[in-house]
Amino acid sequence: GLLRIDHVGIAVADLDAALKFYAEIFEIHSVHEETNEDQGVREAMLAVGDGTGPRLQLLAPLRPDSAIAKFLDRSGPGLQQLAYTVADVEAAAAVLRSRGLRLLYDTARRGTAGSRINFVHPKDAGGVLVELVQPV
Ligand code: CMX
């Protein structure tokens, strides 16, 4: 099942500008940054408070055909996804498929820091893009 909220993802046009905004205004700082070519993103994970709770993920597009670029074109910057931690992404995906939801990938792909991820289509989850994250 779902263990906890892993992170909330926010689409931004300019990662460096967003990092500056979060640091200066909310005093929330990046603890990890990477480029994920497979997902077409440059991303940062920000720790809130003592850093033990869910993180904030800022997602900027690498390419105009990427999921984040399409999201920005359609909706503008803002909340893009809600991610849950799971112990076994394939098992969690299989349960949700058996309950009639469309998972975006047949098998999990690579997410942040080598995690394994899959997504529920937002149209099958009340308008929320749900990500499943199996940490390394
Ligand atoms: N949240 C809620 N609704 C969304 C959405 C989102 N993030 N993205 C698209 N939608 C809605 C659209 O508004 C549209 O609704 P209408 O038909 O009512 O206009 C509908 O979903 C479109 O669905 P679609 O045509 O099937 O798909 P899109 O081409 O818009 O792509 C999605 C949507 C979810 C399949 C695509 O964004 C995707 O593959 N996402 C998964 C990968 C991803 O998000 N990667 C970036 C993050 C990487 C990471 O977390 O590490």
Residue 53: give the domain boundaries: 2-134
Q: 53 φ, ψ to 5°?
A: -95, -170
* CA-closest residue to ligand 1 atom 26: 121
Write out pLDDT tens, residues 54-106: 999 999 999 999 999 999 999 999 999 999 999 999 999 999 999 999 999 99
Give the tens place of pLDDT for each residue, 10-43: 999 999 999 999 999 999 999 999 999 999 999 9
The amino acid that residue 108 corresponds to is A
Question: What is the rounded average pLDDT of the residues 44-50?
Answer: 97
Q: What is the pLDDT of residue 38?
A: 94
Domain count, the chain: 1
**Residue 23 maps to which CATH number?**
3.10.180.10
The reply to whether ligand 1 has any atom less than 6 angstroms from the CB of 109 is no
Contact 45, 30 (CB under 8 A): yes
pLDDT tens digits along 99-136: 999 999 999 999 999 999 999 999 999 999 999 999 99
